[in-house]
A and B are shown apart, each in its own frame.
Chain A
Amino acid sequence: EDQVTQSPEALRLQEGESSSLNCSYTVSGLRGLFWYRQDPGKGPEFLFTLYSAGEEKEKERLKATLTKKESFLHITAPKPEDSATYLCAVKGYNFNKFYFGSGTKLNVKP
């Protein structure tokens, strides 16, 4: 069964303390893996799309990487404004839907 699991569910960091969020997936033929940021009461904001193992993408303090079974979202020297829920989703060649994980709620303390 195709599925997406994110860990940890919640993460508390001090400002400047780097860490990583994990997204493990099971899909028959990965077409794309997507990372989003969601602030409370708002729609998810697109961050990255990764298409093949070994691919990496960066944006400011965020870097997303992809292997054949999981993706990591690395946060370097986070700031309080990075606090949000980060969602991971996958899409496979065998279906026309996106499957989402439950998200990691990140809290960065000043």
Chain B
Amino acid sequence: QQQVKQSPQSLIVQKGGISIINCAYENTAFDYFPWYQQFPGKGPALLIAIRPDVSEKKEGRFTISFNKSAKQFSLHIMDSQPGDSATYFCAASNEASGSRLTFGEGTQLTVNP
């Protein structure tokens, strides 16, 4: 059972544009929502994370927007750069599951020069 659904599957953006990746979750017990970035040949690396007590979190060019009532959250990459080209995964966990992460299917982002 896929508890975190991610879209789009792939995304092509021009340099300087905004990349937007969306996720929706089913389990209302989830209360920690990280985003991971994965480059080819590497493991996923934590990019930014949010808890549902805030609706937005920004770190540099990366912003998470969170809508608790809709059970959705999204990653916005401002001023996208070719170096941002990677696969992005949303994930979720909660206190009961400890550090066990439930991942979305991933979005392959390509930023053209």
Whether chain B is bound by chain A comes out as: no
